[in-house]
Amino acid sequence: MNDKVSVQVVTFGAMNFAMQQNYVPLVRSVTIKNNSDEEIKDIMLKISFEPEFAKPFTHRIEVLPPHTEIEVSPVNIIVSTEFLFSLTERIVAQISVQLLCGEEELVNVGDNIDLLAYDEWSGCYIMPELIADFVTPNHPAVSGILKIATDYLRKWGKDPSITGYQSRNADVVKLQMAAVYAALQSKNIVYNNPPASFEKAGQRVRLPYSVIEQKQGTCIDLAVTYASCLEAAGLFPLIMIKKVTHTAVAALKRKLLPIV
């Protein structure tokens, strides 16, 4: 080991199944700097993982001039889909970065990364838009809600067809949304705290089929469930996250959102 070369590794600090499926890079970049007065030839960069949730990565640098830094990007690391999907609890993994010049080891550093459970949303600090990955319009449980929605449309004396935007009529679209909402109300879903988790940011998300079958969920769970049903109906929902007080949330539950 010596200090003539330094390495900086940039990661998101966390990875889960949703991030992997959306091609979020595990390692964003690796910067290598030659701090010496001499050029260094034939450098081999090696990145490995413990546990082996991703394939080892290697990259060859032919020459690194003195007092120069280069950035290796993109760092195309292949992460195991099966490994991430199998996680039911968060684990701390390690990324090891090694620089070799022939038989000489120039650098050997490590960093921790959190591997999140497959149903864990990373929250508003790391790609909040990933909440959309929990919208699952093709699950049979969601289809059951649409069937109930058609019954409500018929009960209201309207066309029971779920046609999305085909009618080009805003009132018809609103009726479909209202029918889906009423169908969810009929399930008597109650509010329940998120599943047990030890994260300081984000939370575990109950998938829509679980909300419908277990008749319980958080605000996020219910928003994702409603969005799943609208998506299945051919509508395009938008999930918005806003910070509100507990008093405001309680008022919404009582007056506006009886399914919560």
pLDDT (tens digit per residue) in 58-76? 999 999 999 999 999 889 9
Region of poorest pLDDT, from 94-103, 107-116, 123-132, 195-204: 195-204
Q: Judge whether residue 257 has pLDDT over 80.
A: no
Which fold, 5-118?
Immunoglobulin-like (2.60.40)
> Tens digits of per-residue pLDDT, 128-168?
888 999 999 999 999 999 999 999 999 999 999 999 999 99
The answer to whether the CB of 21 falls within 8 A of the CB of 133 is yes
In this prediction, residue 256 carries a pLDDT of 43
Mean pLDDT in residue range 162-189:
95
- Residue ranges per domain, the chain? 5-118, 128-255
Mean pLDDT of 114-119: 90
pTM for the structure as a whole: 0.78
